[in-house]
Every structure is written in structure tokens, then in C-alpha cells.
């Protein structure tokens, strides 16, 4: 699985987005350390704040299937069928990524390969509450 393939899976997952309020389709594909891929899309709600992002859907999908070690996530988001503009993960999703992933974790966007630490150099984590 290379990063281009992973990004294409994210684009495909965006087709499943339940985004009737924003119209913004997001798909995420998460690569486990043993090479499996778990996907997610954003799922919106009439009570707007109950919406969940594609990235967290993918992570919770993987964790609920017994996987907690990840190497990369691809994210694709768009109002149209053009996914060429990068969709940077929101702060809540970065925080959830930081629970499971180290700073080397790769975030694959439309503009290339990033690291979790590019977007979140310092995190609140389990060390913070010891
Ligand atoms: N959204 C995601 O799924 N991931 C992101 O990284 C940013 C935002 C969703 C939430 C909402 O359904 C829509 O995009 C517009 O904010």
C-alpha cells in the first residue's frame, strides 16, 4: 500500500459522507502497522455539534476492530468532486491521533505527505496526567 493508493481510498470513502448540512464530503483511510486499512467518513447530525469527522470515524473503526497501532492516515475533503485542495485535520482529530500515534505518524493530504508533529508539535497525552 503506497501513499497514493491510500489517498485514493480516502477519496472513495468521501463518497460515503453523510454531510447533508455542510455538503463537505470527507473521507479518511488509516493504515495499521501491519498493513490493514480502515476507512471513515464524516457523519453529520441535525444537532450540529454531534457531527463526527472522517478521521475520528476511521480511528474508532480501527480501534473497535482491535487495532491501535498506525503508521499513516490519508484525508480527502471537498465540496465538489475535486479533491486537489488539502483538507487539514481539525484539532479534535489531531488530539485523537496523538492518543495512538507518535510524532512520526504520517498524514497524507492532497498536497503531499506531512507528519503529525507538523500540525501538532506538542500534545496533551498520558504523560500530562501523571
Ligand atoms: N470534517 C472532517 O470530517 N474532517 C476534517 O478534518 C475537517 C472537517 C467535516 C466535519 C463536517 O461534517 C464537515 O467536514 C464541515 O466541517
Q: From first to last of the 130 residues of the chain, give the pLDDT tens digit.
A: 999 999 999 999 999 999 999 999 999 999 999 999 999 999 999 999 999 999 999 999 999 999 999 999 999 999 999 999 999 999 999 999 999 999 999 999 999 999 999 999 999 999 999 9
| Closest C-alpha to ligand 1, atom 8 | 53
Element (H, E) at 32: strand 25-32
Residue 105 phi, psi (nearest 5)? -55, 130
Distance 24 CA to ligand 1 centre (A): 7
Of 110, 89, 109, 100, the C-alpha closest to 66 is 100
What residue's CA is closest to ligand 1, atom 3? Answer: 53
69 included as an active-site residue: no
The Cα–Cα gap between 8 and 26 comes to 12
How is the chain split into domains, by residue range? 3-129
Distance (angstroms) between ligand 1 centre and the Cα of 88 equals 9
Q: Is the pTM of this model over 0.95?
A: yes
- CA distances from residue 53 to 38, 56, 61, 95 in whole angstroms, order as listed: 14, 6, 12, 13
The finding on whether 119 has its CB within 6 A of some atom of ligand 1 is: no
Which of the following CATH numbers is that of domain 3-129: 3.30.70.580, 3.30.70.20, 3.40.140.10, 3.30.2350.10?
A: 3.40.140.10
Amino acid at each position: 500500500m503506497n501513499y497514493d493508493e491510500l489517498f485514493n481510498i480516502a477519496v472513495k470513502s468521501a463518497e460515503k459522507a453523510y454531510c447533508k448540512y455542510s455538503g463537505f464530503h470527507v473521507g479518511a483511510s488509516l493504515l495499521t502497522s501491519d498493513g490493514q486499512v480502515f476507512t471513515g467518513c464524516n457523519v453529520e447530525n441535525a444537532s450540529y455539534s454531534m457531527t463526527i469527522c472522517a478521521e475520528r470515524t476511521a480511528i474508532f473503526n480501527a480501534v473497535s476492530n482491535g487495532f491501535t497501532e498506525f503508521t499513516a492516515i490519508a484525508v480527502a475533503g471537498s465540496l465538489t468532486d475535486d479533491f486537489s485542495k488539502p483538507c487539514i485535520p481539525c484539532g479534535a482529530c489531531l488530539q485523537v491521533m496523538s492518543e495512538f500515534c507518535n510524532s512520526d505518524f504520517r498524514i497524507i493530504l492532497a498536497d503531499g505527505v506531512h507528519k503529525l508533529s507538523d500540525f501538532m508539535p506538542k500534545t496533551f497525552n498520558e504523560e500530562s496526567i501523571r
